[in-house]
Chain A
Amino acid sequence: MSTLLEADNITKTYRDHRALDQVSVHIPDQSIFGLLGPNGAGKTTLIRIINQIIGADQGTILFDNEPLRPEHVSRIGYLPEERGLYKKMQVGEQSIYLARLKGLKRQEARKLLTGWFEKFDLMPWWGKKVEELSKGMQQKVQFIITVLHKPRLLIFDEPFSGFDPINVNLLKDEILRLREGGSTIIFSTHNMGSVEELCDHIALINKSKLVLEGDVREVRKSHSTRLYEAELERVHTPVEQVLDGRFQLVNTEQRLQSLTVRIRITKEATPNELLQSLFTCGQLTSFRELTPTMNDIFIKQVTGEYPTGNRKKTEPFIQAGQQ
């Protein structure tokens, strides 16, 4: 897969702190690229550098295999996290204005806008002032303005904040459609659920440094804790008896007919061997790997350990066992 944007060794220092330290990201063409990191990690700085709003102190950026140039702004669409519109200006007029700043002709902008406005049911609001629109509608207008000039690269910074669930889905569909249409999307967010749902690639920035980059499935696989969950029915032999030292029983949970067990496999064993052992206990009804969620990985990378949330699941069991 070719690379649309290649940022290498980007360093940016503000007077009192280093916002980015030797950060490199390669964004594959037609991918949805999740840019993750806690607040203040340097995401916005990186995005602003890609948008040429500010300059990097060091490092190079290639856009479509060319060094990034001012003319490239017309091929990039940016939806900032902190975003707004002129409150007193009419919605349609304002959209045309912002589209023209991206280099579209007036007539062309009007035509494209009409299409998008109809799609998002905004047409009745064309002549209204922005302050008369609800926050959700303003967000829709901002989204339209971002994608209107059909940019090769779209950068969304927390795009779903301020949207209700229905509109979030509408937007997700549009983002996927834009990708199908040939756009590449950088997606900066804290919302790990949407990362797993949408992103192909991720980069995680923490304390100005890149700590993780890669394909989402690869990342999750590389963060495997080798923890598996199995459900058994009609258990005739206790699970503890069939497991040897290569397996570690994390917990068990009895629910009516079925028994749920979570088992960690050490490096010497394979899932197949675990399955074979489990077959001897009873009827196996389900078996899956408990890969860490992106949320878990995020928190692990930032704080150094997996969230305590995982352990919560075991609490009812322990309490039951004590009784």
Chain B
Amino acid sequence: MSKIATIIRREFLSRVRKKSFVAMTILGPVLMAAIVIVPVLLAQLSDSDYSVAIVDDSGIFAKDFRDRDNIYFTPLDTDIDNAIERMHDGRFDAVLHIPEVAFQAPSSLRLFSEKSVNFNAKLLIENILKLEFESMKLSSAGIDEEVLRSIESPVNIQAIRISDDGEQMTDYPEISMGLGFVGGFLIYIFIFLFGSQVLRGVLEEKTSRIVEIIVSSVKPFQLMMGKIIGVGLVGLTQFLIWVFLTLAIVSGFQAAAPEMFRFTPDEEVFVTGGQVLNQEELQIRREAIQQHDTLAGELLEGISAINIPVMMLSFIFYFLGGYLLYAALFAAIGSAVDNEADTQQFMLPVTIPLLLALIMTQMVITNPGGTVALWLSMIPFTSPVIMMARIPFGVSYPELALSAALLIAGFMFTTWVAAKIYRTGILMYGKKVDYKELWKWMRHS
């Protein structure tokens, strides 16, 4: 089968040498690394300094304000009008006015500023005052803060997974959900990206009529398989380079600036993934942080609980299996039509199961052991995406084996169907093809 090897080689090299491939291969990891690094950088370098003057008429609270990050507090002994004047002079960005009755009537608190108020500063001030008001209320009710603290009972259930052979593993559903979604989504993207490359390649051969020359040397099936395998190898190469480069960039950053990757509770209180949390969530977070040393610690623990080699191997298997299944169908579509515009009517039924799988991923990661998840991870058309979403939660080996076997059977079936359509379609020009026509090609060839 040296002819197939020759075809695979051309399909592979002609794509790998393209500028767009090189650009994607380098940009992909940079983008992925950026997704990890940029939020950290943003949280770190958020804006410029912000200075707040405090006019505390009550004289109780000014001492509670400590500078934090880039927000600086300056207590003033002047009255509020004077402070605002000085703000207009550009000495401060904002003025916080705490009236005498602030404790009794918190709504009398005012934050003045020339420009729009810095949201982080407002949150920080609110949080500080809230804590202070709470402790004042506690002491006025005669409750000692020490006592209160001793009452606080952190509750943190450790979820343990026990496998059939009795092996115990701490479970981190949040991390499994994240990984499951990312895995399923990546499979979806890869199948689509490289499947449509097969379609375009077949169409190019047909419209340029080079296929007429090639089929006198090789069987149409060899040409089709050569293309599918060649493009698949391009996908695999790209994936492996991406994984390698992303890890390299992220770990490079970690090594260069390790302090940036240490999560401190303070930052976690205010910013998560670039989003500012509301009061209620802040409270929850604060408790969470009291319970755990750092989120990073949990993250690391959770990741270490996941079987990375199994993840990687199953990703490669489900990518290749799903790709082969869909690429055969894409090749059949490319062979049946005369131009790209005509592909639309046939693309829809091929993309629907794939899209459905992606949509169902959301549900599957919240209930990975459910009936829907089980069935979708067995049906070859959805199993690549759905199984990737389930694997981080742990899937029993018999289930994995059955799903894998069905997927292999699935792509053998689609390849067989596609080959029949392909060998008729590839030499058929100027004919408006519909499903009835495709069905006839399948039956008669």
User: Chain A interface (Cβ within 8 Å of chain B)?
Assistant: 15, 48, 51, 53-54, 70, 73-74, 76, 78-80, 82-89, 97-98, 100-103, 142, 145
A-B contacts at CB below 8 angstroms, number: 62
A97 pairs with B216, CB closer than 8 A = no
The verdict on B289 contacting chain A, using a C-beta distance below 8 Å, is: no
Which of the 9-residue segments B59-67, B69-77, B204-212, B360-368 touches chain A? B204-212
Residues of B within 8 A of A79 (CB): 213
Residues of B within 8 A of A85 (CB): 208, 210, 213
Closest CB pairs A-B (n = 10):
A84-B209, A84-B208, A80-B212, A78-B216, A101-B217, A51-B216, A82-B209, A84-B210, A53-B215, A100-B6
B213 pairs with A142, CB closer than 8 A = yes
Known contacts being A87-B208, A89-B14, is A98 close to B444, with CB within 8 Å? no
B6 pairs with A101, CB closer than 8 A = yes
Known contacts being A80-B212, A97-B6, A100-B6, is A73 close to B204, with CB within 8 Å? no
Q: Which of A76, A83, A101 contacts B212 (CB 8 A)?
A: A83
CB distance from B335 to the nearest CB of A (A): 14
Q: Which of A76, A98, A100 contacts B213 (CB 8 A)?
A: A98
Residues of A within 8 A of B218 (CB): 101
Known contacts being A53-B427, A73-B217, is A82 close to B6, with CB within 8 Å? no
Residues of B within 8 A of A97 (CB): 6, 10
A162 to B89 CA separation, bound complex (whole angstroms): 82
Residue from B215, B216, B219 with most neighbouring chain A CB atoms (10 Å): B216
A244 to B427 CA separation, bound complex (whole angstroms): 61
Residue from B210, B218, B220, B427 with most neighbouring chain A CB atoms (10 Å): B210
The verdict on B244 contacting chain A, using a C-beta distance below 8 Å, is: no
B204 pairs with A83, CB closer than 8 A = no
The verdict on B110 contacting chain A, using a C-beta distance below 8 Å, is: no
Residues of B within 8 A of A145 (CB): 213
CB distance from A106 to the nearest CB of B (A): 9
Which chain A residue lies CB-closest to B9? Answer: A97
The verdict on B161 contacting chain A, using a C-beta distance below 8 Å, is: no
The verdict on B203 contacting chain A, using a C-beta distance below 8 Å, is: no
Residues of A within 8 A of B212 (CB): 80, 82-84
Q: Which of A53, A80, A86, A101 contacts B204 (CB 8 A)?
A: A86
A101 pairs with B214, CB closer than 8 A = yes
**B212-242 CB contact bits vs A (8 Å, 1 = yes)?**
1111111110000000000000000000000
The verdict on B68 contacting chain A, using a C-beta distance below 8 Å, is: no
The verdict on B429 contacting chain A, using a C-beta distance below 8 Å, is: yes
B14 pairs with A73, CB closer than 8 A = no
Q: Report 26 cross-chain contacts, Cβ distance below 8 Å, ordered by A residue.
A: A15-B440, A53-B216, A74-B217, A79-B213, A80-B216, A82-B209, A82-B429, A83-B209, A84-B208, A84-B213, A86-B14, A86-B205, A86-B208, A87-B208, A97-B10, A98-B213, A98-B214, A98-B217, A100-B3, A100-B6, A101-B7, A101-B214, A101-B217, A101-B218, A103-B217, A142-B213
CB distance from A18 to the nearest CB of B (A): 14
- Apart from A53-B216, A145-B213, 14 more pairs, CB < 8 Å: A15-B440, A48-B427, A73-B216, A78-B213, A78-B216, A80-B209, A80-B212, A84-B210, A84-B212, A85-B208, A98-B213, A100-B6, A101-B7, A102-B217
B3 pairs with A101, CB closer than 8 A = yes
Which chain A residue lies CB-closest to B429? Answer: A82
**B433-445 CB contact bits vs A (8 Å, 1 = yes)?**
0000000100010
Which chain B residue lies CB-closest to A54? Answer: B427
Residues of B within 8 A of A100 (CB): 3, 6
Which chain A residue lies CB-closest to B206? Answer: A84
CB distance from A114 to the nearest CB of B (A): 20
Residues facing A in B326-347 (CB within 8 A) are none
Which chain B residue lies CB-closest to A73? Answer: B217
Which chain A residue lies CB-closest to B18? Answer: A88
CB distance from A40 to the nearest CB of B (A): 13
Residues of A within 8 A of B217 (CB): 73-74, 98, 101-103
CB distance from A162 to the nearest CB of B (A): 12
Residues of A within 8 A of B208 (CB): 84-87
Residues of A within 8 A of B427 (CB): 48, 53-54
Q: Which of A76, A84, A86, A103 contacts B216 (CB 8 A)?
A: A76
Residues of B within 8 A of A142 (CB): 213
CB distance from A287 to the nearest CB of B (A): 49
A51 to B215 CA separation, bound complex (whole angstroms): 9
Residues of A within 8 A of B3 (CB): 100-101
CB distance from A79 to the nearest CB of B (A): 8
Which chain B residue lies CB-closest to A50? Answer: B216
CB distance from B296 to the nearest CB of A (A): 48
A312 to B429 CA separation, bound complex (whole angstroms): 39
Which chain B residue lies CB-closest to A101? Answer: B217
CB distance from A186 to the nearest CB of B (A): 13
CB distance from A151 to the nearest CB of B (A): 10
Residues of A within 8 A of B440 (CB): 15
Residues facing A in B1-39 (CB within 8 A) are 3, 6-7, 10, 14
B210 pairs with A86, CB closer than 8 A = yes
Residues of A within 8 A of B219 (CB): 70
Residues of B within 8 A of A78 (CB): 213, 216
Residues of B within 8 A of A86 (CB): 14, 204-205, 208, 210
Which chain B residue lies CB-closest to A70? Answer: B219
CB distance from B14 to the nearest CB of A (A): 6
Residues facing A in B182-216 (CB within 8 A) are 204-205, 208-210, 212-216
Residues of B within 8 A of A80 (CB): 209, 212-213, 216
A95 to B76 CA separation, bound complex (whole angstroms): 84
A83 to B216 CA separation, bound complex (whole angstroms): 12
Q: Which of A15, A48, A73 contacts B444 (CB 8 A)?
A: A15
CB distance from B3 to the nearest CB of A (A): 6
A187 to B210 CA separation, bound complex (whole angstroms): 20
Residue from A54, A73, A79, A84 with most neighbouring chain B CB atoms (10 Å): A84
A76 to B216 CA separation, bound complex (whole angstroms): 8
A110 to B291 CA separation, bound complex (whole angstroms): 72
